[in-house]
Chain A
Amino acid sequence: MKTLALAFALFSTAILAAQSPTYRAPRTPDGQPDLQGFWTNSTYVPLERPQGVNKAYYTPEEAEARIKKAEAAESAQTTPGTTADVHYDFSQFGLDRSQSAFVRSLRTSLIVDPPDGRVPPYSEEGKRRLAAREAEAKKLGGRWDSAESNQLDDRCIIMAGPGPPMMDTAYNANYQIVQTTGYVMILTEMIHDVRIVPLDGRPAPDSRVRQWMGVSRGRWDADTLVVETTNFNGKNPFQGSDENLKVIERFRRVGDDTIEYRFTIDDPTMWARTWTAESAMKKTVGPIFEHACHEGNFGLYNTLVGARLEEQRAAEAAARRGGSSGPPASSDSPAKKDSK
């Protein structure tokens, strides 16, 4: 059930364009610009500019229309009789974007460089690597063949939220930032991923240390927190990137309820050039809830069970059609002749 009042209330607070150029972020007790609090990067702005759109900004009306269109798509999941009907109704649980805070923007894409608002083409080396990776992935089989061949988010390993770069998820796109002397911590709600960013200028670790979220190092550049992340393990490629990815993020508080968030992707083996995107984080209501994804992952288990059952039924049906008088073939081996 939509709470229009809430939606309108959030509508009115968050126009990105209305930031004050004279705003100065409050300070933490030890003098750092204060980025602390609960934030969301939920947004209707896509990473890449849609086909057919050639400008960097929509008009306000066009931007509103974009929102309405997306909301309608989310509600469509509840149309009875469709496959989507089986899926839970996002709006019913308040998980759809319109019922939480979100970042409003007139941008047609998050990518601001290159100017066409799209991910640049891969280099030759990049294309080779991508093809090799896809070939490897194919070996794992279909999505429901095993846990390992399934998607990282369904496996509860990692989702899009933590990155870096931090991207919005369809729901619960929430973060908490806590600062202390020498460190900034960014907690991503899904899946309770914590990034601990030291500010003491220490070098990146040994190249043999590889992590899903890489290893981050931060520093203050006036009021902007600049975070460089390397040492990715390459298993969760952002837009096809590999283990040589370096992400440079810039966080700047531009209003009481807005942090400007820019990121640059630098992956010399995949792209011949860097590319940059800009979004924001909007203040949202805390607290962050525990997202015990794996602990409650009935979904993965049940879909695998279901897939195995379907195979078994298909094999049995095939055996019946084939008119064999022997016992039904097992689902994981070809039909055997009776050897006795």
Chain B
Amino acid sequence: MRNWFLIATSAALLTAAGVAMAQAPQAPAAARPAAASAYRAPRTSDGKPNLNGVWQAITEANWDIEAHSAAPSPIKELGATGAMPAGAGIVEGGSIPYLPEALKKKKENQANRLKLDPEVKCYLPGVPRAVYQPYPFQIIQSTKHIMMLHTFAGAVRTVYMSDQTEAPADSWMGWSNGKWEGESLVVDTKGFNDQSWFDRAGNFHSDALHVVERFTPRSADTLNYEATIEDSKTFSRPWKISLPLYRRVEPNAMIMEFRCVEFVEDLLYGHLKKQPASK
């Protein structure tokens, strides 16, 4: 029975190939990425898909998660190094479905982003921004806890795989409970405060934010990352982002310190510095 199926399938495939070859010469179709569900990741010793490693997003999303063209630096002296590169966006469907009042606030945020973007002040980046900031993060996976350790400001996320509770208090990085669904790690995060942004373009949320993420291995060195974002105080409906995550495959990849607090002290407290006494 199984052999019959195989023969039938092979015949069908050969026929299809034959048809393809008989068509007029044209540019060969671009290779499509392997379907995410087809890949089965190696397992950890406790039998779960192995997500251990150093990962990094390659995307312009941290500047603006929606599609955007390149734009100049808000600070003249930085020239091209402070400019924003264009990005195709990571928001499925293209636009974030803001409620009308919230959209006004987003625009205010954007116009005043140097003053208001918490990233400028080295504040914890929140979720999902920490995932697509342009710095590596490390996943350390044990049975009960999966840690996600970020470069920027040393941000830490603990995903509780058991002994799960509600968030005891609001926080910047939220409170994450996780479970396995087939090949995917599904992380449900609530308990956010309203302080973090999604990017440098002023996209924001309230403390009603609820994020559900899926980390799904798509090959030995890549993950598919998706996040559904829900916040009834800010958006008219849930919306989704998706992007690949790439493993840092060079030997001895490590998360290095990016303790930026001391880099922003002059910015935050410089005006409170004692001035030399005037004669």
The answer, yes or no, to whether B276 is at the interface (CB within 8 Å) is no
The answer, yes or no, to whether A30 is at the interface (CB within 8 Å) is yes
Residues A211 and B67 in contact in the complex (CB < 8 Å), given A182-B27, A198-B30, A206-B94: no
Contacts of B33 in A (CB 8 A): none
A-B CB contact pairs (8 Å), 22 listed? A31-B25, A31-B26, A32-B25, A181-B28, A182-B27, A198-B30, A199-B30, A200-B27, A200-B29, A200-B30, A205-B67, A205-B88, A206-B88, A206-B94, A208-B66, A208-B68, A209-B67, A209-B69, A209-B86, A211-B69, A220-B27, A233-B69
How far is the CB of A263 from the nearest CB of chain B, in Å? 21
Tell me the chain B residues, 17-40 only, with Cβ under 8 Å from chain A.
24-30
Contacts of B29 in A (CB 8 A): 200
Give the nearest-CB partner of B88 in chain A: A205
Would you call B67 and A220 a contact (CB within 8 A)? no
Give the nearest-CB partner of B26 in chain A: A220
Would you call B69 and A210 a contact (CB within 8 A)? yes
The answer, yes or no, to whether B89 is at the interface (CB within 8 Å) is yes
Contact residues of B with A, CB < 8 Å?
24-30, 66-69, 86, 88-89, 94
Contacts of B88 in A (CB 8 A): 205-206, 209
Given the complex of chains A and B, what is the CA–CA distance between A208 and B60 in angstroms? 14
Contacts of A211 in B (CB 8 A): 69, 86
How far is the CB of A230 from the nearest CB of chain B, in Å? 13
How far is the CB of A101 from the nearest CB of chain B, in Å? 29
Contacts of B27 in A (CB 8 A): 30-32, 181-182, 199-200, 219-220
How far is the CB of B164 from the nearest CB of chain A, in Å? 38
Would you call B67 and A208 a contact (CB within 8 A)? yes
Contacts of B24 in A (CB 8 A): 222
Tally inter-chain residue pairs, CB-CB below 8 A. Answer: 46
Residues A206 and B89 in contact in the complex (CB < 8 Å), given A211-B69, A233-B69: yes
Q: How many residues does chain A have at the interface if contact means C-beta atoms less than 8 Å apart? A: 19
Given the complex of chains A and B, what is the CA–CA distance between A182 and B26 in angstroms? 10
Tell me the chain A residues, 178-201 only, with Cβ under 8 Å from chain B.
181-182, 198-200
Contacts of B69 in A (CB 8 A): 208-211, 233
Give the nearest-CB partner of B24 in chain A: A222
How far is the CB of A27 from the nearest CB of chain B, in Å? 8
Most interface-central of A200, A211, A219 (chain B CB within 10 A): A200
Given the complex of chains A and B, what is the CA–CA distance between A297 and B67 in angstroms? 32
Contacts of A181 in B (CB 8 A): 27-28, 30
Given the complex of chains A and B, what is the CA–CA distance between A220 and B94 in angstroms? 29
Would you call B67 and A206 a contact (CB within 8 A)? yes
Given the complex of chains A and B, what is the CA–CA distance between A222 and B26 in angstroms? 8
Given the complex of chains A and B, what is the CA–CA distance between A97 and B146 in angstroms? 68
Contacts of B89 in A (CB 8 A): 206, 208
A sample of 16 more A-B contacts (CB under 8 A), given A27-B25, A181-B30, A208-B67, is A31-B27, A31-B28, A182-B27, A182-B28, A200-B27, A208-B68, A209-B67, A209-B68, A209-B69, A209-B86, A210-B69, A211-B69, A220-B26, A220-B27, A222-B24, A233-B69
Contacts of B25 in A (CB 8 A): 27, 31-32
How far is the CB of A163 from the nearest CB of chain B, in Å? 18
Given the complex of chains A and B, what is the CA–CA distance between A200 and B29 in angstroms? 6
Given the complex of chains A and B, what is the CA–CA distance between A206 and B86 in angstroms? 11
Tell me the chain A residues, 195-230 only, with Cβ under 8 Å from chain B.
198-200, 205-206, 208-211, 219-220, 222
Given the complex of chains A and B, what is the CA–CA distance between A198 and B30 in angstroms? 9
Contacts of B66 in A (CB 8 A): 208
Contacts of B67 in A (CB 8 A): 205-206, 208-209
Given the complex of chains A and B, what is the CA–CA distance between A208 and B71 in angstroms? 12
Given the complex of chains A and B, what is the CA–CA distance between A220 and B88 in angstroms? 25
Give the nearest-CB partner of B70 in chain A: A211
Tell me the chain A residues, 78-124 only, with Cβ under 8 Å from chain B.
none
Given the complex of chains A and B, what is the CA–CA distance between A27 and B26 in angstroms? 11
Would you call B28 and A30 a contact (CB within 8 A)? yes
How far is the CB of B251 from the nearest CB of chain A, in Å? 31
Given the complex of chains A and B, what is the CA–CA distance between A199 and B66 in angstroms? 25
Given the complex of chains A and B, what is the CA–CA distance between A30 and B28 in angstroms? 8
Contacts of A198 in B (CB 8 A): 30
Give the nearest-CB partner of A211 in chain B: B69
Most interface-central of B27, B28, B29, B68 (chain A CB within 10 A): B27
Tell me the chain A residues, 51-67 only, with Cβ under 8 Å from chain B.
none
Give the nearest-CB partner of A223 in chain B: B25
Give the nearest-CB partner of B27 in chain A: A199
Given the complex of chains A and B, what is the CA–CA distance between A208 and B89 in angstroms? 10
How far is the CB of B76 from the nearest CB of chain A, in Å? 13
Given the complex of chains A and B, what is the CA–CA distance between A18 and B88 in angstroms? 46
Contacts of A32 in B (CB 8 A): 25, 27
How far is the CB of A25 from the nearest CB of chain B, in Å? 12
Contacts of A182 in B (CB 8 A): 27-28, 30
